[in-house]
């Protein structure tokens, strides 16, 4: 992700050079450490892109205060928010973070297991993940996995 001079947030596809706007106003942006997940703040909303390949489908949380950090430890990822008189923590969806790592490592069976786990709820973002996994499975000729992904869609 890249912020422009007016504090807008864009993502650039390195292969095509295409620039996609994500947020018109962005006060904070950071990759989750050791993950393909982006966290950004625009005014009183926190945006989380668990699948940056589908920038039109972030998960949005209303927040009070300013994001100051992202902490990742002991299998838990939290966004640290300064609310003025106190600090609050917003837990991110660890299975969806793990999905990105599984896909990057080409562990498609593990990625399917993550998306099918009872802790992962259907959402526009998980639909995008199924779609991404379907396309990658086809490219790698993992047809059984691709079939499972298309069935989920």
* pLDDT (tens digit per residue) in 31-60: 999 898 999 999 999 999 998 888 888 999
Taking the model in full, what pTM does it have? Answer: 0.85
Q: Is 27 exposed, middle or buried (0-12, 13-18, 19+ CB in 10 A)?
A: middle
Q: What is the pLDDT of residue 2?
A: 56
Per the structure block, which two tokens stand in for 142? 């993992």
Distance of CA 12 to the CA centre of its chain: 16
Q: How far are the Cα atoms of 50, 81, 89, 106 from residue 86, in angstroms, in the given order? A: 27, 9, 10, 41
Residue range 13-24, pLDDT digits in tens: 888 999 999 999
Residue range 78-131, pLDDT digits in tens: 999 999 999 999 999 999 999 988 998 999 999 999 999 998 988 888 998 999
Residues whose CB is less than 8 angstroms from the CB of residue 32 and which lie 6 or more positions away in sequence, other chains included: 38, 39, 70, 72, 77, 92, 97
């Amino acid at each position: 992700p890249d912020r422009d001079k007016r504090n807008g947030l864009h993502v650039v596809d390195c292969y095509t050079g295409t620039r996609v706007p994500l947020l018109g106003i962005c006060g904070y942006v950071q990759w989750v450490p050791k993950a393909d997940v982006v966290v950004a703040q625009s005014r009183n909303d926190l945006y989380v892109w668990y699948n940056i390949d589908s920038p039109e489908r972030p998960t949005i949380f209303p927040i009070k205060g300013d994001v100051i950090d992202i902490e990742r430890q002991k299998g838990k990822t939290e966004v640290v928010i300064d609310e003025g008189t106190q600090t609050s923590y917003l837990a991110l969806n660890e299975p969806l973070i793990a999905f990105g790592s599984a896909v990057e490592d080409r562990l498609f069976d593990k990625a399917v297991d993550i998306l099918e786990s009872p802790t992962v709820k259907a959402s526009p973002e998980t639909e995008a993940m199924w779609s991404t996994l379907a396309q990658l499975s086809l490219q790698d000729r993992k047809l059984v996995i691709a079939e499972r992904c298309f069935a989920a869609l």
